[in-house]
Amino acid sequence: MSHRDYTRVFERAIRRAGLPIGFSAGFTPHPKISWVGAAPTGIASVAEYVEIGLSAELDPADVLDRLRAALPEELAVEEVIPALGKSLADRVQASRWRFAFPGESREVIESAVAALWAADDVVVERVNQNGRKQVDVRGALVEASVQTEPDGCVIMTSTVRQATPVVRPDDVFTALREVAGLEPQQPPSALRLAQGSLDHEGQLLDPFEDANVVIAPSPAS
């Protein structure tokens, strides 16, 4: 499902839930729904955040119940909280990713990740309908580590800064191929685990906690 499709499903759910959604001003008003760092098409995520502006104050628990009743199980809402002082976009600075490389040895993935980490910059080119974009994958990389799961699948977990343009999972796979010649035997996959702000040590913090709750510590922690 593309982000556009997801947005349409969510907007329809808001209408079915009877929520008093607010609209922007101007000649073509739009519902006040703002997605932050939406995952690319075809990429799984368990950490998507959206801000909605209501025209009336409601109990967050009531909003949660209404949305859950209006959405399919696959698009479950986990939590609803009141808006904080800063916008959500200002609070989300990075994402935590899980990259899976089935069929690859840990040594191969560790070597590729080490080569990426050792580079000063790794610029990859992305081509889409709007032309060509150059993306510095290494510059957006905050940390990366490699583990092996019980089933033998090798996993790279990494915190990636929300740069402009945004570094996508395919950009990471391209960067690993360019710096280390990594050509996976099977298609790798990506899952976003978390989004949040960054502290000075590179730890990913819960964007909704003013107490700076760590949700993804840096390797040195």
Question: Would you state the pLDDT for residue 216?
Answer: 58
The average confidence (pLDDT) of the chain is: 89
Question: Would you state the pLDDT for residue 2?
Answer: 67
* Interval 61-97: pLDDT, tens: 999 999 999 998 888 899 999 887 777 888 889 999 9
Q: What is the mean pLDDT of residues 7-19?
A: 92
Query: What is the value of pTM for the model shown?
Result: 0.84
* Interval 146-162: pLDDT, tens: 999 999 999 999 999 98
CATH 3.40.50 fits 92-216, yes or no: no
Question: Would you state the pLDDT for residue 89?
Answer: 81
* 39-56: b (≥16 Cβ within 10 Å) or e: beeebebebbbeebeeee
Residue 221 pLDDT > 50, yes or no? Answer: no
The whole-angstrom separation of Cα 110 and Cα 154 is 9
77 touches 68 (CB < 8 A): yes
Contact residues for 160 (Cβ-Cβ < 8 A; gap 6+)? 94, 95, 97, 140, 141, 142, 167, 172
Q: The tokens of 36 are what?
A: 């932050």
* Interval 199-216: pLDDT, tens: 888 889 888 876 455 555
Domain boundaries defined on the chain: 3-89, 92-216
The whole-angstrom separation of Cα 167 and Cα 4 is 19
82 touches 64 (CB < 8 A): no
